[in-house]
Chain A
Amino acid sequence: MIELLSYPFMQRALLAGTLIGIACAVIGTYVVLKGLSFIGAGIAHASFGGVALGFLLNVNPVLTAVVFCLGTAWGIGLVARKGHVKEDTAVGVFFASTMAFGILVIGLMHGYNVDLFGYLFGSIVAVSRSDVWMILGLSAAVLFLVWVFFKELLFVTFDAEMAAVTGVPAGRIYFLLISLMAITVVLSIKVVGIVLVSALLVTPAAAAYQMTENFRRMMALAVLIGVCSSVGGLLLSWKLDTAPGATIVLVSTLIFFLAASVSPRRRGLRHGD
């Protein structure tokens, strides 16, 4: 195990995994409480179109994925807030069309692309030095924005209407939140993979939700669970030679079921209703 840590690629993967675990858990706390997990899945699948386009145009796929995911997030947000279409319908439309676009683009490329496979299911060896810097920069930006708008994000997640009534710019905070989701998805896809990134957004926070009735404690627990899942999953995937994204997600799912089975929420019945 110690010798494993001396490999530079493993150090990079573990550092990246830790950062991803933190960012996904923090944003996931809002996703779970506001019921945005389907939007998360939609944004994650949109990144497929972005990554594929990046390969076709021979530019950094992360860059095109950021553009694609932000565009999709805002598109879903705009359509849903206008109220012409339900939120989950909007997600369904964007979900499929961005995926379809990605598949179309892959068809235009010649031959099979190993790198693309890494983006789909995650890869430890694929995390380069520049990827680590990118992940570090983006996750720092996400965490900084959460810190700056902490009270507004909490209020809008809890009660958006009341937030708007009391003069909090609720609409803009909502767009900030889905933008943060989009960025978090993109910074995670190298390690976890497009297919499974939305699970990492939801599962650690969902496990933490089972264990506490305090918002800050929920976020802190989610971070702990997220980091344990990422690091544990990466080490396991190396040992078992399995896909890192799948292993990370399954570790977090195991923690979720453990948390749910000892949840005080199940024991403590509400009085009054």
Chain B
Amino acid sequence: MNEKGPIIELEHVKVAYQDLLVLDDVSLTVPAGSFLAIIGPNGAGKTTLLQVILGLVRPASGRVRIFGKVPAELDGERRRIGYVPQILSVDVNFPVSVREVVLMGRYGRMGLFRRPTRGDYRAAKEAMERVGVVDLADRPIRRLSGGERQRVFLARALANEPDLLLLDEPTTGVDTASSEGLYELLRVLHASGITMLVVSHDVGVVASYVEGVVCINRRLVAHGRPAEVLGSDALSKMYGCDAMFFHHGRVPHLVVERDQ
């Protein structure tokens, strides 16, 4: 999708749950074709930021435009946003198969009173092929490993043929080998033209795949290329402790020294 303007525009966004300020004065512009990581400590408002973009949380103040529209007014554009929520947010014992989960990604665009068509099944199958879970199509989701399950949720988002993909901690509960495989896959998907926004706390792994890093800790702490952001003192500002970032072989490492 060749988009002229930015896909996501946030200006001075503020979110509060009752008295608790979750996001404060966050401004962020994401051009089409970006591959960004959003990093920050626990409780920094990373998930909330995604929920603002998705229109699930309405900011107390500030301006939000997704594909040039207010999130609540998205209709046809809604299907252009793919979302991979935190794995912990769903019941993994739910009696559904991989195919059923992936097909759910298309329920919204099918509309009410409609059954899946051959085209919907084809899109689901293609999505499963893209992430390499087509062999698992008939398996109940509770019989998947963490890495496989994450790919299934990625396939569900892809089944809707999105132009923008938001991922919330995609490597939680996934072993190191699988999580590198997952990032490789995200890189391939990005190369095919999908704008990517990945929330993560594993700074080291994510930095070697993305083009830009956004550090938030309620406020936007830093935003730039991985080497710039992670080389600056932004990390230590964000975590409130000394942090060091260095490259060791291909995978960069982050060392955090907490104050004693």
Q: Which residues of A contact B (CB under 8 A)?
A: 33, 148-149, 151-152, 154-155, 158-159, 161-169, 209, 212-215, 217-218, 265, 268, 270-273
- B226 interfacial by beta-carbon distance below 8 Å: no
Which residues of B, 125-171, contact A by the 8 Å Cβ criterion? 140, 142-149, 156, 160
Residues from chain B with Cβ under 8 Å of A154 in the complex:
96, 100, 104
Contact B142 A270 (CB under 8 A): yes
Contact B97 A214 (CB under 8 A): yes
A272 in complex: contacting residue of B54, B115, B145, CB < 8 Å = B145
Residues from chain B with Cβ under 8 Å of A217 in the complex:
95
Q: How far is the CB of B104 from chain A (nearest CB, A)?
A: 5
Task: Say which one of B7-15, B73-81, B237-245 lies at the interface with A.
Answer: B73-81
- B56 interfacial by beta-carbon distance below 8 Å: yes
Interface size class of B (residues with CB under 8 A): 35 or more
A164 in complex: contacting residue of B56, B110, B149, B160, CB < 8 Å = B56
- B19 interfacial by beta-carbon distance below 8 Å: no
Contact B173 A273 (CB under 8 A): yes
Contact A166 B105 (CB under 8 A): yes
Residues from chain A with Cβ under 8 Å of B173 in the complex:
273
A166 and B78 in contact (CB under 8 A), knowing A152-B107, A159-B104, A213-B143?
yes
CB-nearest residue of chain B relative to A151? B107
Residues from chain B with Cβ under 8 Å of A213 in the complex:
95, 140, 142-143
Residues from chain A with Cβ under 8 Å of B89 in the complex:
159, 161
Q: How many angstroms from the CA of A98 to the CA of B90 in the assembled complex?
A: 33
Q: How many angstroms from the CA of A197 to the CA of B45 in the assembled complex?
A: 43
CB-nearest residue of chain A relative to B81? A165
Contact B112 A214 (CB under 8 A): no
Contact A167 B78 (CB under 8 A): yes
Q: How many angstroms from the CA of A127 to the CA of B3 in the assembled complex?
A: 66
Contact B107 A163 (CB under 8 A): yes
A168 in complex: contacting residue of B107, B113, B156, CB < 8 Å = B107
B146 in complex: contacting residue of A165, A218, A272, CB < 8 Å = A272
Q: How many angstroms from the CA of A46 to the CA of B89 in the assembled complex?
A: 31
B83 in complex: contacting residue of A162, A218, A271, CB < 8 Å = A162
- B249 interfacial by beta-carbon distance below 8 Å: no
Contact B56 A268 (CB under 8 A): no
Contact A272 B95 (CB under 8 A): no
Contact B79 A167 (CB under 8 A): yes
Contact A272 B148 (CB under 8 A): yes
Can you list 12 pairs linking A and B with CB atoms under 8 Å apart?
A: A151-B104, A151-B115, A158-B96, A158-B104, A162-B83, A167-B75, A167-B78, A213-B143, A214-B97, A271-B143, A271-B145, A272-B147
